[in-house]
Structures are given as structure tokens and as C-alpha cells.
């Protein structure tokens, strides 16, 4: 039989490591002939755009380069399968591709939306009496998938965020005037990544002095009060805030209508920029906001070795699960203990994961709702440990490069 | 005798390495007793806020941590000495401090403005018949100092910019829709840092497809034309632009008055955000702008070993220059050859450097003014080579931490 693997959703540092895991494990199995890669997620299966991964990944060095190349080497998509009862045209195309290519298993590396595809497709395939195993391999820097202890991609993003946050803290403290620095971190509904910046507290750092996550309500008034308190103690106050944090004041007419760009459009400023302006108005002090932007999800030069290793292993475990007859399953991590850090990989029903979100436990957020507890540190710290020995070329990390025309 | 060292201007990854260089070299010299660090640049000398560096830097490990700690461990300032003919009150305070503390040499690590201080102070000290050697140690990520081949801090900033640019290129290429990504890079008058992102061309990357620097005029119309041309060839076009680039169209009344924040203030958007809006309006395609912000100057986790090593050596050379009787001198690099990369360190008169700026040579910019030539690569590449073996703690680079109250 042949198998096909696809990557979906937003880029991470670990998603190509999971691809390596699937490929490497499949190469060990005599009953697997071709390993296809689908271009642009499930869209590649629908449009029959598959490439033979054995011609793409030829050497151990190729695999090493893939492990240190961020983003999705096979391209990605944001496509979500419709309900097959309403429209099964895409499903039929998928089935046609599976039959034509003699596919015995499909591995989908992605987040909540991709796990919805795993759930729907595995049910449809069964209904059609087709024996194709459908397996989900989790990935997202948001760490918001249910059931699994954490998601591949999160550890590297957290390591980047904390490393960069520490450097911003040093940068912010050089001048003699009081200042406020606000760092906006990805996370629309769940504050995992912003919260992970608290790992600096384990390294004798008081900063970030304030951390706000979407799980707890926040008001501008409370924020000002928190700031006043921190400014009395620290000359340079550093604040971490999830992009998803909302303050009721920002919903006011003034804010909604006031921000206009040069073309007359409403300017979509994030919460960081909003708080920056608010602090400037209220305190009149030096204030700066910084967006960590896409670097949070693609900075593989500072990826977590734990994360990259686990991402590969969970991909490999997906292959073994399919061979053992599993389908409609998502591979998850179950943490056995923090010290020494131990996890096992096991399958979970995709229904328990698809379209759901996991939020920060209450015990990870302090009572005041403006920082993260020490209890959370034992959860976060093992995930960011370890550095990869990056292959460099001309002083730069070497990436696995795929011909541009393949992804066009 | 005693000596004093101070750090000034914007943070870099290499400025603490230069401090180590001065300290390490001074410790070897029997005639030097105390090595003082001045808090917040020359302001610390004016206000007699000096700390004994021997109590601060106690071990080899402390020195190693300083080499990997970004920003100025002794704080910084933006203070510029006035003309002593008009007002010499600050000069008198400096002299008093020098006499009281038995200072025989003052080392100022900084950029153009700090070299102005070196020039003025050395002249004043001579006039007063005082034998205190005043030596400048260059640093700036902008690489815009005259005479010297390059400046400490630039190589690490360039390595960060190119490394991050490469990751952004990977990130931008995952979806099947055409897109434009604009990366705004520091450099108000000189385009060195934006230009350095061209090193990716040495690693078989077409991107950045367009690079704009302040040295060459640019218009929105020409930018659109350049973009059209690149979009015909590449699905995901990536553009590097210096923050100092101006387009005449952005000076229009519409732009100046149209951008208003939630408090009714003019919103100071940078060139990246401006071009993003312009591209959205003109092409209607997916477009994103990214500011690399302060991370450009403080990302010591990916610092260039060449840069950090040279920064330390140029600090040490400053001490030797003072002992040999030099004053009013700035230490500079003279490049002997590109391959194998060889530089010598020598003194240059501060007058040749203070308050001047060095721009990109014409031969480094292509004829169309929208990219960097291959000739420039032999200049840039040696500066970003080599990685430091970073000391980690809990999965994070360990920084040299100075007590917060010392810098208050």
C-alpha cells in the first residue's frame, strides 16, 4: 500500500519534524511502498497534487535540514471539509485520489480544524466501506488542543517568546527614565504562549512584571492600577499580553471609529498598540509596544530540542497506530511526570479534540489575574529545554528548500 | 592610576563584550588599580555614580555571561556634551570626578554622539593640563561610523536580521494565494542593516526579492512596478525596507492628517505599515508588514561570534592605546582582506568620526535601486559568521544580572 501525509494550518517550527517522523517510520515498514506528500494540506488530495517524498527526502542530511526548517515544507491550507450530508463532492474527490493512488493511510498534521477533517473523513471513509486509516498528528503554537498534555510546536514558540522577552527586558532597562514595555504575544482565545513567558521567573527575573491572558477579564482601570504598583517597584516595567485580551474600554465608540489609516480605513491595531497609547495618555511616560508577530511560530533557530524530538516521535507513532488498525484517532501526549520529564504517546478519539479549545487551568493564573503562578512553571519548563545543534551555512541556519514551482 | 569605562547610546549585543575587553585588559596591567564602571554613560561621571567593576565581575563565568548579555549592563544615556566655550559646568564636574577618583583614562563605548564626547572631552582635558586619556570604543548596530570598516554590534544585528528574514520567508510561502510580506528594518539614514539581509542570496535564496535603503530615492509608483515584476515570478514576495526610506506620496496631506489613533493623536506608523496599506489598496492581495523592532539590537542568543570576539578585542586595544599615550582617539577596524577574513585594530582621530555618518557605497546597490549587489556580500558575510556556545539555564540563555537598584 501507499500512504499520504499533509500539513495544515499556521506554520510552526515542529511541523516538518512530524513529517520526518511519518516518513522515517514508514520507510521502515516493508508493506508501505510510496510515501506521498500532499501539496497545501487536504487540498492536495482533493486536487490530486501529490509528490513522492522519497524523491524529495533523499538523505539523512535532508531529514536533518527538515528538522530545522520552520513552516510547512509541503505548503498549508485553511480548508475545512463541509458536512458530508450537505455536500460530499470534496469527499468523493478524496476517495478517488485514495483509490487511484492505492492509499492505505492518511496522516494529517494540524490543529483543531485539521482534527475536524480527521474526524469527518474517517467517518465518511468507513461509511463508504473503504479501508483507509485516517490519523491526526497535532501541531499548533497555541497549545490549545484538548486531551493532549501539550502540542508539538508550542515548546519552540514558548522558548522563542521567553528568550526574546528576556532580551527585551535587558533592552528596556538601559535608560535612567521610567518606562513601560508591552509585548503582544499570539493567542486569540487561550493564553498559553503569553503565560509561558513566566518561565523567566525561574531564572531569577522579576519581569515580565505583569502577564495578561484572555482567560481572565481585564479592564483599563485595573491595568493602570497594576502598572502603578509595579512602577513603584521597578524603573522599567515589562508587560506580556495575549493578542486575544480585550478591555471593555477598547470597545467604545471613540476607539472603534477613531483609528483611521491613510486610506480612510479603520486601522486594526492590536491590544499592545492600544495599551501603549492608553499608558502614554495616562502616565505620560516612555512607553513602547512590541509585536512578536510571525517570528513566534517560525523561529526555528532557537527551537526547543524537546519539542522537535517529540514532534518527530509523535509523527512516527501515528504510522504505528495506523498499522495497528487505528483510524479517526489523534496522537496525543500524556505526561507521566515533570521530574524527570516523561511523556507517553497514545491515540485519542478525534471527536474529543476536533473544534474544541483547551484553556489555561485556573491554578496557573494568580488571584489578581495579572500574572502566572509558580505551579505553572513545572508544566512549562520541560517543554522549552534543550537546544538543537543547528547546521549553518555562511553564518545562517541552513533550511530545506523545496522548488518554488512545486508550491505554486 | 584608576580608569573608568562607560556605555552609551542604543543597546547592542556586543557592547558588554567591549566592556569585558576593557576590564580584562586593564586587569593585566599592574599600574592600573581600580576599574570603575560609570552608571548611565557619561552621566555617571558627571554625577559621580561609579561602581568598582572588580566587585561586579568576579569570575571568568561572569565575563562569559557578560559576553552573551545584550544591552548595556551599566545603563546608557543620550546625553551630549555642550560646547565647553558656552557652558563648561558639566566638564568641570567630569574633571572633579577624574581628579577625586584619580582617573588616568576614560573609555567611552558608543556611537557617533559618544565619539563627539570623546572629541570634546579630550580637548577640554588637555586645555586644563590634565593627563587623562580619552578613548572611544565604537558600537552601533547601524554600522554608520566613518573610518572603521564596520562597527561592533552590527554583525550580530545583521545575523539576527538575516536569520529572521529567512524564517519569515519560509513562513510567508505556505499558502496557495499570492502574498506580499514587508519587513521593516532599523536604519534611519543609512541602509546597512536592511542591505545585510541580502546575505540570504549567498544561500540560494531569491528572497528578499526587493531591498530598499535610504541611500536611493523611492516612489510608490516605482515600488508598485517592482512588485508587479516580482509577483509575476514569485507567489510569495518578500520585501526588506529600511525604516528611513521615504516615499514622496507618504508626505501628502492625506497621509499626514489621516492616521489618527484612539486618542486623536496622529498615529506614527512606520514605512512598513504605510507600504502594507498601499499594497493592499493597489493589489488587493494578502499583505503583511513586520517590524523587527528592538529585537534587532538585543537578540544575543543568535549573536555573531566574529562580532562578539571583535567587540572584546577592540575594547582591549583601547586600553593598550591609552597606555601608549593615545587620547582623543577612536579604535577602528581596518579590513586587510575578505578571504580569509582579516582585520587589524588601530586608532583614528575622533574628529574624523564624531557626528558623521557612513553610507552604503554606490556599488553595493543595484542599478534599479531595489536590491543589493553580490559585491556587497563579500563585505557582509564575514561579519555574521560563527556562533557562540551560549550558556543556558532552564532552556534559556543565562544573562549577567545586575541589581536593579544600582541602575535606578
Give tens-digit pLDDT for A63-89: 999 999 999 999 999 899 999 999 999
- The CATH code for residues A154-298 is 3.40.50.460
Q: Chain A: give the shortest CA distance to residue B179, in Å.
A: 12
pLDDT at A176: 85
Q: What mean pLDDT do residues B185-209 have?
A: 97
pLDDT at B251: 67
Chain A (259-278) residues lying within 8 Å, Cβ to Cβ, of chain B = 259-265, 267, 269, 274, 277-278
pLDDT at B263: 45
Q: Chain B: give the shortest CA distance to residue A374, in Å.
A: 14
Chain B residue with CA closest to A160: the answer is B396
A244's grid cell: 486575544
Cβ–Cβ contact B84 with A under 8 A: no
Q: In this model, does residue B367 exceed pLDDT 70?
A: yes
Band of the pLDDT at A372, cuts 50, 70, 90? very high
Q: What mean pLDDT do residues A341-353 have?
A: 98
Positions of B marked active-site:
142
Chain B residue with CA closest to A156: the answer is B395
Could A168 and B294 be called an inter-chain contact, meaning their C-beta atoms sit closer than 8 Å?
Answer: yes
| Integer CA distances (angstroms), B182 to A18, A224, A290, B154, B273, in order | 29, 34, 17, 22, 8
Reported as a single tens digit per residue, the pLDDT across B96-123 is 999 999 999 999 999 988 999 999 999 9
Could B170 and A254 be called an inter-chain contact, meaning their C-beta atoms sit closer than 8 Å?
Answer: no
Reported as a single tens digit per residue, the pLDDT across A121-164 is 999 999 999 999 999 999 999 999 999 999 999 999 999 999 99
Contacts of the segment B317-320: beta carbons below 8 A, 24+ positions apart: B317/B21, B317/B25, B317/B345, B318/B21, B318/B22, B318/B25, B318/B107, B318/B135, B318/B136, B318/B137, B319/B3, B319/B21, B319/B22, B319/B25, B319/B26, B319/B29, B319/B105, B319/B107, B319/B135, B320/B25
Band of the pLDDT at A254, cuts 50, 70, 90? very low
- Tell me the chain B residues in contact with residue A397 when contact means C-beta distances shorter than 8 Å: 163, 166
Q: Which of B206, B277, B293 sits opposite A261 (nearest CB)?
A: B277
Could A381 and B394 be called an inter-chain contact, meaning their C-beta atoms sit closer than 8 Å?
Answer: yes
pLDDT at A269: 67
Q: In this model, does residue A251 exceed pLDDT 80?
A: no
Chain A residue with CA closest to B205: the answer is A401
**Average pLDDT across chain B, whole number:** 94
User: A2-140+299-356+390-407 with A154-298: one CATH topology?
Assistant: yes
Residue ranges covered by each domain of chain B: 2-153+299-355+389-407, 155-298
Ramachandran assignment for A299, one of left (phi > 0), alpha (psi -120 to 50 degrees), beta (any other): beta
Cβ–Cβ contact B165 with A under 8 A: no
Cβ–Cβ contact B11 with A under 8 A: yes
Q: In this model, does residue A406 exceed pLDDT 90?
A: no
Q: What percent of chain B shows pLDDT beyond 70?
A: 95
- Residue B151 DSSP class: -
Band of the pLDDT at B264, cuts 50, 70, 90? very low
Reported as a single tens digit per residue, the pLDDT across B120-135 is 999 999 999 999 999 9
Could B162 and A381 be called an inter-chain contact, meaning their C-beta atoms sit closer than 8 Å?
Answer: no
Q: In this model, does residue A327 exceed pLDDT 90?
A: yes
Q: Which of B75, B171, B288 sits opposite A71 (nearest CB)?
A: B171
Q: What string of DSSP letters covers A262-310?
A: TTSPBP---HHHHHHHHHHHHH-SEEEEEE-TTHHHH-GGG-BHHHHHH
Cβ–Cβ contact A237 with B under 8 A: no
Cβ–Cβ contact A286 with B under 8 A: no
Could B407 and A302 be called an inter-chain contact, meaning their C-beta atoms sit closer than 8 Å?
Answer: no
Chain B residue with CA closest to A391: the answer is B387
Q: What mean pLDDT do residues B371-382 have?
A: 98
Peptide bond into B375 cis (omega under 30): no
pLDDT at A260: 46
Chain B residue with CA closest to A68: the answer is B167
Angle value at C-alpha A213, between A209 and A215, nearest 5 degrees:
140
B183's grid cell: 519587513
Q: In this model, does residue B172 exceed pLDDT 80?
A: yes
Q: In this model, does residue A6 exceed pLDDT 70?
A: yes
Could A171 and B259 be called an inter-chain contact, meaning their C-beta atoms sit closer than 8 Å?
Answer: no
Reported as a single tens digit per residue, the pLDDT across A166-225 is 999 999 999 889 999 999 999 999 999 999 999 999 999 999 999 999 999 999 999 999
Cβ–Cβ contact A341 with B under 8 A: no
Chain A (294-333) residues lying within 8 Å, Cβ to Cβ, of chain B = 294-295, 297-302, 304
ipTM reported for the complex, 2 dp: 0.96
pLDDT at B257: 34
Reported as a single tens digit per residue, the pLDDT across A273-326 is 999 999 999 999 999 999 999 999 999 999 999 999 999 999 999 999 999 999
Band of the pLDDT at A403, cuts 50, 70, 90? confident
pLDDT at A248: 87
Number of other CB atoms surrounding residue A109 within 10 Å? 35
Chain B (118-137) residues lying within 8 Å, Cβ to Cβ, of chain A = none
- Tell me the chain B residues in contact with residue A235 when contact means C-beta distances shorter than 8 Å: 404, 407-408
pLDDT at B42: 97
- Tell me the chain A residues in contact with residue B260 when contact means C-beta distances shorter than 8 Å: 258-260
pLDDT at B279: 97
A58's grid cell: 533523499
Band of the pLDDT at B254, cuts 50, 70, 90? very low
Q: In this model, does residue A266 exceed pLDDT 80?
A: no
Which top CATH class is A2-140+299-356+390-407? alpha beta
Q: Which of B168, B203, B404 sits opposite A298 (nearest CB)?
A: B168
Distance in angstroms (rounded) separating the CA atoms of residues A140 and A137: 10
Asked: is B155-298 a CATH 3.40.50.460 domain? The reply is yes
Q: In this model, does residue B193 exceed pLDDT 80?
A: yes
Could B281 and A297 be called an inter-chain contact, meaning their C-beta atoms sit closer than 8 Å?
Answer: no
Q: What percent of chain B shows pLDDT beyond 90?
A: 91
- Tell me the chain B residues in contact with residue A269 when contact means C-beta distances shorter than 8 Å: 261-262
pLDDT at A102: 98
Instruction: Name the 3-class secondary structure at B349.
Output: strand
Q: Which of A199, A393, A399 sits opposite B170 (nearest CB)?
A: A399
Angle between helices B89-100 and B112-127 (to 10 degrees): 70
- Tell me the chain B residues in contact with residue A153 when contact means C-beta distances shorter than 8 Å: none
**Active site residue: A60, A64, A87, A142, which one?**
A142
Cβ–Cβ contact A159 with B under 8 A: yes
**Average pLDDT across chain A, whole number:** 94
Q: What percent of chain A shows pLDDT beyond 70?
A: 95
Give the pTM. 0.96
pLDDT at B408: 67
B64 close to B308: Cβ distance less than 8 angstroms: no
Candidates 3.30.300.160, 3.40.50.150, 3.40.50.450, 3.90.650.10; CATH matching B2-153+299-355+389-407: 3.40.50.450
Amino acid at each position: 500500500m501507499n500512504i499520504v501525509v499533509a500539513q495544515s494550518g499556521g506554520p510552526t517550527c515542529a511541523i516538518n519534524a512530524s513529517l520526518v517522523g511519518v516518513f522515517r517510520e514508514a520507510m521502515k515498514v516493508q508493506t508501505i511502498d510510496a510515501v506521498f506528500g500532499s501539496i497545501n494540506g487536504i487540498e492536495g488530495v482533493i486536487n490530486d497534487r501529490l509528490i513522492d517524498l522519497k524523491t524529495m527526502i533523499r538523505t539523512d542530511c535532508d531529514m536533518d535540514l527538515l528538522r530545522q526548517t520552520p513552516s510547512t515544507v509541503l505548503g498549508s491550507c485553511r480548508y475545512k471539509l463541509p458536512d458530508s450530508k450537505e455536500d460530499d463532492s470534496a469527499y468523493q474527490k478524496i476517495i478517488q485520489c485514495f483509490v487511484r493512488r492505492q492509499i492505505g493511510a492518511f496522516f494529517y498534521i494540524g490543529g483543531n480544524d485539521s482534527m475536524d477533517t480527521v474526524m469527518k473523513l474517517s467517518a465518511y471513509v468507513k461509511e463508504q466501506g473503504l479501508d483507509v486509516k485516517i490519523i491526526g498528528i497535532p501541531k499548533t503554537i497555541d497549545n490549545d488542543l484538548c486531551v493532549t498534555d501539550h502540542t508539538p510546536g508550542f515548546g519552540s514558540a514558548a522558548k522563542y517568546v521567553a528568550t526574546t522577552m528576556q532580551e527585551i527586558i535587558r533592552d528596556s532597562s538601559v535608560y535612567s527614565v521610567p518606562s513601560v514595555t508591552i509585548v503582544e504575544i499570539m493567542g486569540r482565545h487561550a493564553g498559553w504562549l503569553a503565560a509561558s513567558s513566566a518561565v523567566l521567573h525561574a531564572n531569577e527575573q522579576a519581569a515580565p512584571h505583569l502577564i495578561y491572558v484572555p482567560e481572565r477579564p481585564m479592564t483599563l482601570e485595573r491595568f493602570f492600577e497594576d502598572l502603578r504598583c509595579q512602577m513603584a517597584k521597578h524603573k522599567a516595567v515589562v508587560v506580556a499580553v495575549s493578542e486575544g485580551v480585550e478591555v471593555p474600554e477598547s470597545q467604545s465608540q471613540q476607539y472603534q471609529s477613531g483609528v483611521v489609516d491613510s486610506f480612510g480605513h479603520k486601522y486594526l491595531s492590536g491590544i499592545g498598540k492600544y495599551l501603549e497609547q492608553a499608558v502614554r495618555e495616562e502616565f505620560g511616560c516612555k512607553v513602547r509596544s512590541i509585536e512578536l508577530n510571525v517570528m513566534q511560530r517560525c523561529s526555528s533557530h532557537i527551537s526547543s530540542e524537546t519539542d522537535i524530538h517529540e514532534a518527530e516521535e509523535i509523527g512516527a507513532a501515528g504510522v504505528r497506530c495506523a498499522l495497528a488498525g487505528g483510524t479517526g484517532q489523534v496522537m496525543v501526549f500524556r505526561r507521566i511526570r515533570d521530574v524527570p520529564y516523561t511523556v507517553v504517546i497514545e491515540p485519542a478519539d478525534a471527536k474529543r479534540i476536533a473544534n474544541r479549545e483547551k484553556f489555561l487551568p485556573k491554578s496557573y493564573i494568580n488571584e489578581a489575574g495579572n500574572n502566572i503562578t509558580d505551579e505553572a512553571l513545572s508544566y512549562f519548563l520541560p517543554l522549552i529545554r534543550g537546544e538543537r545543534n543547528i547546521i549553518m551555512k555562511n553564518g545562517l541556519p541552513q533550511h530545506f528548500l523545496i522548488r518554488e514551482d512545486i508550491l505554486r
